[in-house]
Structure formats: C-alpha cells, structure tokens
Structure 1
C-alpha cells in the first residue's frame, strides 16, 4: 500500500477518531486530525504527537477549510444523546453544513470521503434486524431528531455529491461501539454502567431494561471502517456486532465483572428511545469479508481496565 496516503480525520480527537488515527499512523500513512474539542479531548491524541506524520488542526467543520488530502474520514459530530441534545441546532448544523463542507473539499481535491453515519437513521425500527434497505421509522421533531435526521440528510448529501459531481463516497452506518477513549460523561450505556460500578453506585436502568442493543468493540469497528474506505462500495453499509443483548443483561455482566453486590435503580425510559437495535451485517460479510471477532465479555474487560486506569 502507498505509504504517502494523506488522511484527514474530522472529529479526530474523539473516541473513534483517535483509534482510527493511531491505526493509520501505525500503517505509515499521514494523518491530519481536525477537531474543535466539543466532545473530543486532547488526552485521546496525546500519544499521537510522537508520530512525525501526525498533524493537528483545531477547527470547526461548519467552517470551510482548504487542505490537500487523499482520504477524508468524516467523523465529526456529537454522537451520544447527552452531547447531541446539549445544543441540538449545532448538532444539525454539524451534520449538514459540516458534511457539505467536507464533500466540497473532496470534490475540489479528488479525495475519497467516508461518512460516519449511524444506526439512528433507522429510528425506532419496525424491521428487525435492520438491513440497509430499510428506510427507517424516525420522528422528525423529537429530542433525538437533531442527530437522527442530521445523519439522514448527511447521507443524502453524500449520495447527491456522488450522483452530481462523481465524488467517491463511502457511507458507514455505525451501531453501538465501545472501548478505551470513551468519555466518562457521554451518557452511553456501557460507560454509564462501568463508571457507576467502579464508583460503587447503583446501576441505572431506564424502563424495565428489556430494550436491546448490539455492542461492537472499537478495534473491530475500525477494521471495518478501513475495509470500507478501501473498497469500491458506495452505498450505505452496516458495521456493528449482530449479537443482541438486553440492557439488563449488559448491566448484569458489568456488575459481575466489577462488583456483584451492586443494586439496580430503575428510571423512566427517555422519549423516542429505540426498543430494539441489531444490525444485519450480511452485506459487510459479503462485500468486505468483515465481521466482528471480539466477544462482549472480552471487550468489556479491556474497557473496564482502561476506565480503572483513567477514571
């Protein structure tokens, strides 16, 4: 592979961006990390400055930028409900204007662009598991809509830039992902449970805990992301772990691994919270020869170790 590939990662100091940056740097490629630190942190990329081929630019993707790059990995957008609901208008702007700016850059310099989309485009799904052909069941005016609809319109922009301008796009629908470099306060279920358990607090379950999710360890996800960018596939594709667990099963596993004596505390289910979430990854298997390898328990042990060392 050409070692002189120049990569731009928007949201490069975030959870996924920092893992992707390290992986590309270890392959000998150049990485420009772009971030405004809304949810990303300097700590996530601290060790990357030792690489000669790493560069950091503090920048908000809602403002245009001129750079010469080969690949654009467009990950910039708050992705946890606490953060994307904090400033919902900014979230929608980041998804629309940020994607518009990055597509414009890709068009100008002839770069490939990968959009980090989301399983949230399926909303509260009526189809289970969710295939890429499913068009979703999304509330356009709910408290999650800024993110759900923001990512849907980002996908639309990618498809139209491809049709109208011939931009090479990759659209990756990411399902729940976890691992080191998650924020302690991001409100996602795995980080919530681990932090509460390590602090000997009650573990909070919303609703009755029967809602389901599928959890993909970050290393598996980054491998899928790179395979997709290097493929010729330009339609949406699910990348996630199809093993489905109820939230209560997850809570029990975290409790067992950290402190079996902790109690559960039940709270009201948030509005528009999906009841089921499970990817069909048939396309990823067939087209990318990709499927996740790390089991939930093994991934949780690695994640818990990281939280213990960083909390």
Structure 2
C-alpha cells in the first residue's frame, strides 16, 4: 500500500521535488562564490527583485494548464505599471488608492480582452496574444513615451520594505497559497486541467469551457497588475518598456517548474522554483560579469533542457 502511495506521489509531484533539489544545489553552488548569498538580507533582495516575475509566471501557469499561452503578459505588466504611476497622487495621504484600483481594473480588462477574443472569437491564443502585445505595449508608450513619473513615498516604502522587509514575503505567500489552492483544490482548477487534457472531453462532461478559459485569462491579467504595481513601488517611477522579457521568462519559469506546454499537468509551487532558478542564474552570470546577451542564450538552453526533461519524465 505504501509503495503504491509513494508511486502515485512521485508521478504527481516528482518533477516538483527534483526541481527544488536542483534549486537547492544551485544555491549551494552560488554560495561558494558569494559568501553573502545565504543571508536574510540577500533572500529579501532576491524575493523583491523576483516578485513581478513570480506574479506573471503564476498567471502564465494557469493559462498553460488550459493548453493555452499568453505572450501579452509583459505588455499587461508595462501598461499597469504606467497606469499605476500616472493615476497616483504622491502628495496626499491616500493618493495611492486610485492608482491601485486603476491598475487592477486595467489588468482585468486586458485579460478579459484576451479571453473574449480566444473564447468568443475562437482564435488561437498565440495569435491573439501576439496581437494584443502590440496593443498593450503601444498604449503604454502612448501614455508615457519616456520613463518617469513619481510614486507615493509611503506606499512604495511599505510595499517593498514594510515590516522590516516582510511585506513582499507575506504578499508572495498569500498569492501563492491562493493560486495553488485554485489550481489544485477547487472545481475551477480541476476544470482547468480537464480542458488542458482534452477540451472536447471537458465540454462533453458539462464543463463550461469558454467561461473557465475566460476566467483564467482574467486572473492572469490581475496577477500582472500586481506585478506592475510592485514595479511602480520598486522603481519609484514607470517605464513603458519594462515588460519586454516578462512573457518569455514566465513561460520558461512555468515549464522549468514542471508545467506541461500541452496543458493539464503542472503545479504553481514548481513554477516558483522555476522563477528563482532563472533569477539566481541571472544573478550568478552578473556576478561573473557575463554579458546580458549570453544570459538570453542561457535562458533558452534552460527552457530546452526543461522541455526535454519533461518529455522524458512523462514517458517514464
């Protein structure tokens, strides 16, 4: 009986366990070259710098579970970042409240637009999100052609360093628990995976395929809004080009974490490990003085390796 349970556990969570072992080994390797790596301050900095990508990657995971993909996440992050800063009044006590509301609404509307075009228009997700990337990036540049703006100082300090730097961790933990519960322990999550496994089979069992996919894209948009808001506080400004690499990095993190590009299979917990692996490798390459061009090559190789490993693990 125990052997059967262990086998089932390994089949469901084997990739996640392996990816966390790899993450731990990578952290030990980096600590050899940087004695300050295993410090609380460094982990806080790593979480702060990774938080926006964590949000985008969790959104991408939900969408990939349906068998779809969203290449517009970076555009949504940038647009929400710009809207947040432009809507903010840094000189009043609650001047950040309208900015938060505006950014969340914009993220939700962007996700809804993708969802409507894909579900009602019956268009391929990759084509739709390539097109909407151009729309969102263009709107962000139209609103703010050059980086700038100012952010409410108290809001920025609280969000990035509040409670001795614990606020980003609390937010991350809360959102992770929420998204993981949605994906793994609710009828919505089961429907996501059913659609990713076979859309026709899911439809025949009574699942409202269009509604579930629409909700997934809306949730991804809201998570990207959270990324854009955090970037506003982190940079104390806005930049319409800030989201350029987020979509590809989010896909890489999700796949490295064990989310199958074919849909149905994946765990947000694994995606988190994928994000930290990407962040740590980039930090390591920066530490070694490696050009950013080689960092892109490294990310591409990581994605290829993850896809290959996923294929081998699936066959076994």
With normalisation by structure 2, the TM-score equals 0.27
Task: Tell me which structure has the larger Cα radius of gyration.
Answer: 2
Work out which structure has the larger RCO, using CA pairs closer than 8 Å and 6 or more positions apart in sequence: 2
- The structure richer in helix per residue is 2
Q: Provide the TM-score with structure 1 as the length reference.
A: 0.27
